Amino acid sequence: MTPLWKLDQPILLASTSPTRLQLLQSAAIPVEVRSPDVDERAVEAELQRQNLSPDAIALELATAKGAQVSRQLSDRLVVAADQTLALGARQYHKPKNIDDGREQLLSLSGKTHALHSAVVCFRGGERLFAHVETARLTMRPFGPAFLEAYMSVAGDTVLRSVGGYQLEGFGVHLFERIEGDHSTILGLPLMPLLAYLRSAGAVEA
C-alpha cells in the first residue's frame, strides 16, 4: 500500500490489459487483477443490434465486466474499462490478420477518428461511478511506401490494437494531430477516475 491509498485492500482491476494496469500503478494505486468472464464480442454485437452509439457501447462493455467481477467479490472496490474506435458510423475491432490491419490503417489515413474510453467502479454488484471520455486523433495522409515500411516494422503488433496502431510506440508516426488526454487514448480515463476515488475516500484528497 502507498500513503495515497486509504483502503485496506487494493483496487480490483477487471481487465487483463497490461496498459491499464500500468496506468493505475503509475498513479501509485495498489492493484490486483481479475479477468472478467464476459464474451465481449457477443455483448458488443447485441449492443450494435440495438443501435447504441460507440461511446455508449464502451460504457456498457465496461459495465458488463465490472459487474461480473463485482458479483464474485462483493466486498472489493472494482474498476473496469473499455474502449471503442469509430470513424463516422464505422466501429473498428482488432484486426483479424495482417491484411485486415493494412485495410484498417488505409481507411483511417487522412481522417479524424474517435476513441471512446469508458471507466466504471463497482462494489457489491452496484455501479457507483461511470464516465466516458473521448479523444480525437487525426492520421496524416500516407502512401503505399510508408504503409509497407510501417507494416514491416510493426509486424504482428498490428493485431494487438484496434485500428492497427499503438500510439505509445512507433504508431506515433501515423498521426498529425491528437486531441485528448493521454490516459483516455490508452483506454482508461485516469483523471475522472482519480477524482471519483478521492470523493469516495479511497485516495488521499
Q: Is the pTM of this model over 0.85?
A: yes
Give pLDDT, residue 98. 92
> What are 146-173's pLDDT values in tens digits?
999 999 998 888 888 889 898 888 899 9
Give pLDDT, residue 49. 86
Asked whether 92 and 38 are in contact (CB, 8 A), the reply is no
Count of residues in the chain: 205
What span, in angstroms and rounded, lies between the C-alpha atoms of 147 and 128?
Answer: 44
Asked whether 13 and 31 are in contact (CB, 8 A), the reply is yes
Give pLDDT, residue 155. 87
Query: What b/e string do you get for 7-29 counting C-beta neighbours within 10 Å, with b at 16 or more?
Result: eeebbbbbbebeebbebbeebeb
Q: Known catalytic residues? A: 82
Give pLDDT, residue 39. 83
Give pLDDT, residue 136. 98
What span, in angstroms and rounded, lies between the C-alpha atoms of 6 and 100?
Answer: 46
Task: Say which residues have a Cβ less than 8 Å from residue 128's Cβ, sequence separation at least 6.
Answer: 121, 122, 196, 200
In CATH, which of 3.40.50.720, 3.30.450.20, 3.90.950.10, 3.40.50.300 is domain 11-199?
3.90.950.10
Give pLDDT, residue 48. 82
Give pLDDT, residue 67. 96
Encode the chain (205 residues) as per-residue pLDDT tens digits. Answer: 778 999 999 999 999 899 999 999 999 999 999 999 888 788 888 888 898 999 999 999 999 999 999 999 999 999 999 999 999 989 998 899 999 999 999 999 999 999 999 999 999 999 999 999 999 999 999 998 999 999 999 888 888 888 989 888 889 999 999 999 999 999 999 999 999 999 999 999 9
